[in-house]
A = this chain, B = another copy of it.
Amino acid sequence: MIMSYKVAVVGFGAVGKEIVRLLNQDVLPLESPPRILATRAREERLDGRTYQVLETADEHFTDVDIAIFAGSEGARGASVTFGWKAVENGAVVVDNSSDFRMDPKVPLVVPEVNFSAINPDHRFIANPNCSTIQMAMALAPIHRAVGLKRVIVSTYQAVSGWGTAAMNQLKSQVDDFEAGREIQVDSSIIARQIAFNVVPQIDRFQPNAFTKEEMKMVNETRKILGDPEILISATCVRVPVFRGHAEAVTVETKSPLTPEEARRLLAAADDEAKEGRYRSRLIVVDNPSDDVAPEERYPTPLDSDSTSHVYVGRIRQDPVFENGLSLWVVSDNLLKGAAFNAVQIAERMHLKGMIAGGRGAH
């Protein structure tokens, strides 16, 4: 019997749609088209096809082999209500919500970095925060080689990280601007005007005056890299970009590492990451010279749009530390930052025989 799976996707917002697109590309052997669940039953069109969206309920997980929770928008919190029951019913859950990422029983996984955190008993896997995934991809080879002591990151995050409503908000504000109308702001979506502005708040403020997004970058990065000693601080900023997060990262390493060595390390990490049909490459675009074509100098969010890769540039010795390095990391927040990473986790678990499968066929 050829192994094939019944897959449920929970959430059909910006991330959920990307998960369905990836599943439609045969990344996993599916017994039937993915079942799409969300807070509200409806019919939705995507890429010229019509999808029947069912209202999320326990009964829809009883025959499912893999449940991927998109964790965005309407489906927020769905894994709290339905995730562990799906596991009890025999499914493997990959959860893109933030609810269980720091749970010690739950592996938090970027496949290229720490797939080994998943052992055969794990049935519930957390997918990290978008801004964390791309930074972890870039820092992991450096951490392995010379150790990380301090990480200071400032982000430039696209509106799609906050879902379809935030993308529509940017679009409608740009429409207002072009039409010469007063720009309308719905602060329940993004606190301040985002068109032609930047907003240093992503998610809610915590008691320490950092935002939830900033603390995710701190705590999740430590968990993924398996090193609670790394000192990390983040400033997370929303910028008027639809898709693609960028990050300015400054690190202090434990031993010296030249920019040239860092470039070689990252390129080598890319070559190693060959497991699975679907993988994220770690691509160095770093030619800091005005004599090369602009698109070869460094990556920008536009370069990452709709790709599954993580791009690194602006690698340079940072004079603030004796062993200092600065870099610029870019990736599509909806793909490697969310949908692609989640599907990769499921794909690798499948390749390793960690998913029972075929339950629908019995």
- Could you tell me which A residues sit within 8 Å of B by CB distance? 150-152, 154, 156, 174-175, 177-178, 187, 191-193, 196-201, 204-205, 208-210, 218, 231-233, 235, 237, 239-242, 244, 246, 248, 250, 259, 288-290, 294-295, 297-298, 300-302, 313-321, 324, 326, 328
A187: which B residues are within 8 A, CB to CB?
A: 294
When the two chains form their complex, are residues B191 and A297 in contact, meaning their CB atoms are under 8 A apart? yes
Q: In the complex, how many angstroms separate the beta carbon of A305 from the nearest chain B beta carbon? A: 9
Residues of B within 8 A of A297 (CB): 191, 201, 205
Determine the chain B residues whose CB is within 8 A of the CB of A175 once the complex forms. Answer: 178
A316 in contact with B248 (CB, 8 Å) = no
Q: Chain B residues near A250: list those with CB within 8 A.
A: 152, 233, 235
Task: Assess whether A154 is in contact with B154, with CB atoms less than 8 Å apart.
Answer: yes
Chain B residues whose C-beta falls within 8 Å of the C-beta of A154 in the assembled complex? 154, 235, 248
Interface of A is mostly: mixed
Return A313 CB to nearest CB of chain B, in Å: 7
**Shortest beta-carbon distance from A104 to chain B in Å:** 21
Can you list 22 A-B pairs, Cβ within 8 angstroms, ordered by A? A150-B321, A152-B250, A152-B318, A152-B320, A191-B294, A196-B241, A197-B244, A197-B302, A198-B239, A200-B298, A200-B313, A200-B314, A201-B297, A205-B289, A208-B317, A218-B319, A231-B319, A232-B320, A233-B250, A233-B318, A235-B328, A239-B240
Given contacts A200-B300, A231-B320, A300-B199, contact A156 B239 (CB under 8 A): yes
Chain B residue numbers with a CB within 8 Å of A320 are: 150-152, 231-233
Say which residue of B177, B242, B244, B248 sits within 8 Å of A237 (CB atoms).
B248
How distant is the Cα of A167 from the Cα of B289 in the complex, in angstroms? 24
4 interchain residue pairs of minimum CB distance: A154-B154, A209-B316, A191-B294, A235-B248
